[in-house]
Structures are given as C-alpha cells and as structure tokens.
Amino acid sequence: MSRIETFLGVSVATSSRIDVTDPKNNADTAAEKPPAPVYELYSWRSKSPNARLVYIRNVHTANVEVARLAHGPLGFDMEWKPIYNKGQAENPVSLIQLANSETILLIQISAMPRFPEGLKELLSDPRVVKAGVGIQGDCKKLFSDWGVPMRNCVDLSLLARTVDNERWKGRYVAPIGLARLCEAYEELTLAKGKATRSNWEQVLTEVQQQYAANDGHVGYWLYCKFAQMASAMNPVPRLVYYTFDYLDGRLCDPFIGVRWSPDNPYYDPGPPPPPPPPRPPKDKKKAVQREGERALPRAVRFGDHPRASDVQVGRAPASPPSPRQVGRVFPSPPSPRQDRAGPSLQFRPPSRQPPRARGQSLGYREPPVFVPPGFGMKPQPTHPAANMHTHATPVPNTSSGGVGEHSGAPSGRGKPRRSRPRRPHRSDPS
C-alpha cells in the first residue's frame, strides 16, 4: 500500500508498510511492553449481594450494630480528613470500616461525642481477626488519637508474601497496595478517585460511602482467600509471621507479648535488584562562562570566606635598604598587611601559591630581630674636649624609609664617621 506525499512541491510516492526484515523495527517491536489489562471495577454488591451497608453517626447505634456482627474475620480500614496546608497537624480518625460477608459498617466517630464502648471492646478482642493493608500505621494512629488498643491484627501484604512467595519477591516488609492485590487475585480494579482526598468529617455522600465500603469489603475477601491458601500449605505458616497486637503504643507478639517485628525465616526475597547505573564524573575544570567574563577562582569568589588551607603564614616583603643602612640592621617599616606584634597572614588561593624552594619549611617564620644602632661596636677613644660636644640628635630619614638613622654617617660609607675634637678658637673664653 502506497501513498502520495508532497515535499517542496514535488509529489513523491512513499510506502506505509513497515519492513519486517529491518532489525531496527524488530528490536523496537520486541522492546514494547504489552498493554496493561483492563479489568472491571470492584463492587462489594457483586461479591456479597445480600450484605447490609450501615452508615452510623451516633454512639447507641454503633454499639447495637457492632454487637450484631457475626463472629469471624473482619475487613478493617480507616479514613480521616486530609490536611491542605503544609506544616499543619494531622487530623484525627474520622471513619472506621468493618466488613464481612453479611454486614458493612461505616462508623463515623468524628460525629460522636465519645468513642463507642462496643467498638472498643471489639477492636481489643483477641478472638476476632482484623485484616487490612498497612494496618500497623492504622493501629498507631487510632491509639494516638483515641487511645484504643487493637489485638489480632493481620497485615494482608505480609500474608500475601507468606502464602504466595513465587509471585511476590523483594523485601518481606515492602508494602503491597490493596488495589494491586485486588487486581492480582480478583482481576478487578479497585476504584480510586477524588474520594480518597475528600472531607471524611462531613456527612458522607453516596460516592464516599461506596468507596469506603469497597475498601473494607475487599480486605475481608482477600483475607479469606489467603487463609485458604495458607491452610493448604505444608507446613502451615505460623501466625506470628503476619499477625500482631498493638498495646501500650507498641507492636507486640500476640502469643508471648514481647516486641514484634515482621519476619519470616522461610521467605525468599529473590535475587537483589540490579545496581543503579554509575553517574558520569563531574568535570571540575569545565565552567560555564558568559561572553567577555572571566571566571574567578573558587576561593576568591564574592561571598566566600577563606579556608584554613588557603592561609599562608609569612612576613610582608621589606623595602630595599638605603645607602645609609648598609652595614647596619634596622627593622623594616610596617607593611599595611603586617601586624606589628607578629607575622602577616596573606590570603592566597591554592592556584596562586608561590613555588616553595627545596628544603624550605612550611612552618612558622619569626620576624627579624631588632638590633639597636651601635650595638656590638668597639668603644671609641675619649678626648678631653670631647665631653664638651655630643653627637647630633638622630633625625628620621623619610626618604629611605628607615626608622631612625644616625646623622653621623651621611656619606653612606661602610663605617660611621668619627667625631673629631674641635680646635680651640680665640673667641673661646680662656
């Protein structure tokens, strides 16, 4: 089959048939995943057509209906009003669902002045199984909000991994959603819509009631199927692998009362998942620069502070000696970067550190020692007339940068000029 296509005003005949001999087409076709199966919606009416749906908003009716429940396992679930603002405290439990093949109770405890006594006795009864997915979190929240303990609780996710280990691999404590279990064992889709995040403290609408009833009923239905699978196993798995009590704010073993944690020594998690692909190494030398802009080193960028490894201890460079300072040792004038009481701290980036000479130490270098002028020189011979005259007052030389130079060496020779005795003058008094 061919068709005529127009490309730049020229009619070209092209074929819409895919060449099955092309290996690229075969690889793409094989890589495509099969479409997910489409199932019908789960409805509690189709599973239990004779069951009663009872919506309760007062304490007396709740106690009466709970007492009428037949002894046996119950599907358990809870709902509460979601929070819409970040940082807001979580709302307390609003609705509790209990279901079996005959009755589905929707007990809205948020509309009651107190928690029903009959419901509290039922939840703490060790003879009645309460089955649900993620029921550990529900028990913790119910005890935190209303102070109600629960006993003989079954986690359907752990029970499914125990009785059908061939289907479910991975960690034993990894949760399996209720909708996923419903599709796997009932081939029905559990409807999830806007009712999940709706207000469960108001008077429930028909959509909310059907949603809550299906969640409670499918928990009961799955528990019955898993219990039948467990009874056919040899040996029969122990109840402690998936059953627990919640007393005094902690998970407890239902038989000996010690702390309980989900564990099954016979569970096979299967091969470990493949490791994630390695990340490509980051190129530190590659920097994104705009046109006409020079990238600054990491240590001298604006807003950064110097690091300890970038600080170099040393002294400031001294000015060259003047001709009058030859042969003497004078202190260097203080540099703007040098502290008078110690060495200077010069900040240099790692890329601009000066090369270190062979044998040079990186330790602390002391400043030069200050030597007073004339220290260590030979004493000069005295003359009787020398007591009448003294040396000139030291005048600081600002041109050479010295601290204080002796005026007796103006010529800059290696040795200072000696003072000669003054010849007597006729004007001198006799």
User: Which residues constitute the domain of residue 231?
Assistant: 48-252
Chain-centre distance for alpha carbon 233? 44
Tell me whether residue 227 is in a domain: yes
In this prediction, residue 279 carries a pLDDT of 85
Dump the DSSP string for 74-141.
EEEEEEEPPP-STTPPPPPEEEEEEE-SSEEEEEEGGGSSS--HHHHHHHT-TTS-EEETTHHHHHHH
Per-residue burial over 123-135, b if 16 or more Cβ lie within 10 Å, else e, is bbeeebbbbbbbb
Q: Tell which wins on pLDDT, 49 or 364.
A: 49
Q: What is the pLDDT of residues 308-318, one digit of tens each?
A: 666 566 655 56
User: Is residue 331 very low, low, confident or very high in pLDDT (cuts 50, 70, 90)?
Assistant: low
In this prediction, residue 245 carries a pLDDT of 98
Is the confidence at residue 123, as pLDDT, over 90? yes
In this prediction, residue 303 carries a pLDDT of 52
Q: Tell which wins on pLDDT, 179 or 358.
A: 179
Q: What is the pLDDT of residues 23-55, one digit of tens each?
A: 445 545 445 667 778 889 999 999 999 999 999
Tell me whether residue 189 is in a domain: yes
Tell me whether residue 216 is in a domain: yes
86-90, 179-183, 198-202, 357-361: which has the minimum mean pLDDT? 357-361
In this prediction, residue 319 carries a pLDDT of 63
163-172, 326-335, 366-375: which has the minimum mean pLDDT? 366-375
In this prediction, residue 267 carries a pLDDT of 96
Q: What is the pLDDT of residues 3-24, one digit of tens each?
A: 444 434 444 444 444 444 454 4
- The chain-wide mean pLDDT, for the chain, equals 77
In this prediction, residue 272 carries a pLDDT of 87
Q: What is the pLDDT of residues 395-425, one digit of tens each?
A: 455 444 444 444 444 555 556 666 777 777 7
In this prediction, residue 364 carries a pLDDT of 41
CA within 13 Å, CB half, 410: 5
Tell me whether residue 86 is in a domain: yes
Torsion, Cα of 18, 23, 24, 26 (10° steps) = 60
In this prediction, residue 322 carries a pLDDT of 60
Q: In one letter, which amino acid is 146?
A: W
> For the chain, what is the domain count?
1
Give the CATH number for residue 177: 3.30.420.10
- State what percent of residues in the chain have pLDDT above 70: 60
Q: What is the pLDDT of residues 267-302, one digit of tens each?
A: 999 998 888 888 887 765 555 555 555 555 555 555
Q: What value does the mean pLDDT take over residues 202-221?
A: 96
In this prediction, residue 423 carries a pLDDT of 75
Decide if 175 contacts 157 (C-beta within 8 A).
yes
Chain-centre distance for alpha carbon 321? 61
In this prediction, residue 320 carries a pLDDT of 62
Kindly state the helix (H) or strand (E) to which residue 25 belongs, with its residue range: helix 23-31
* Residue reference for tokens 């999940």: 196
Tell me whether residue 12 is in a domain: no
Q: Which pTM does this prediction carry?
A: 0.59
Tell me whether residue 13 is in a domain: no
136-150, 186-200, 277-291, 344-358 — most confident range: 136-150
Tell me whether residue 300 is in a domain: no
Decide if 408 contacts 416 (C-beta within 8 A).
yes
User: Is residue 122 very low, low, confident or very high in pLDDT (cuts 50, 70, 90)?
Assistant: very high
